């Protein structure tokens, strides 16, 4: 009587080649660069304080056609 898998030699284990290890290392390095860039952007956004610029303080004041103004002035 023979069944599935009886009498068959186990399949040899495949070792990862240098190409697979290199691809994994490059993917990890790329991910690290993206994470570092995002961390830098977040740090810069939280640490920067833009200077006050002149803007329209009341609706209707200012040059003609200037309809946009801040919702709340911080200056």
Which residues, 6 or more positions from 58, have their beta carbon under 8 angstroms from its beta carbon? 69
Higher pLDDT, 70 or 38: 38
Closest CA to 55 of 36, 38, 74, 39: 74
Higher pLDDT, 28 or 13: 28
Q: How far apart are CA 22 and CA 9, in angstroms?
A: 31
For 30-61, how does the pLDDT look when each residue is reduced to its tens digit (9 = 90+)?
999 999 999 999 999 888 877 776 665 565 55
pLDDT at 45: 87
pTM of the model: 0.49
């Amino acid at each position: 009587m023979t069944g599935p898998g009886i009498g068959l030699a186990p399949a040899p284990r495949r070792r990862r080649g240098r190409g697979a290890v290199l691809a994994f290392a490059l993917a990890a390095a790329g991910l690290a660069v993206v994470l570092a860039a995002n961390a830098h952007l977040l740090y810069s956004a939280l640490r920067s304080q833009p200077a006050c610029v002149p803007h329209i303080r009341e609706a209707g004041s200012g040059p003609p056609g200037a309809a946009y103004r801040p919702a709340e002035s911080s200056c």
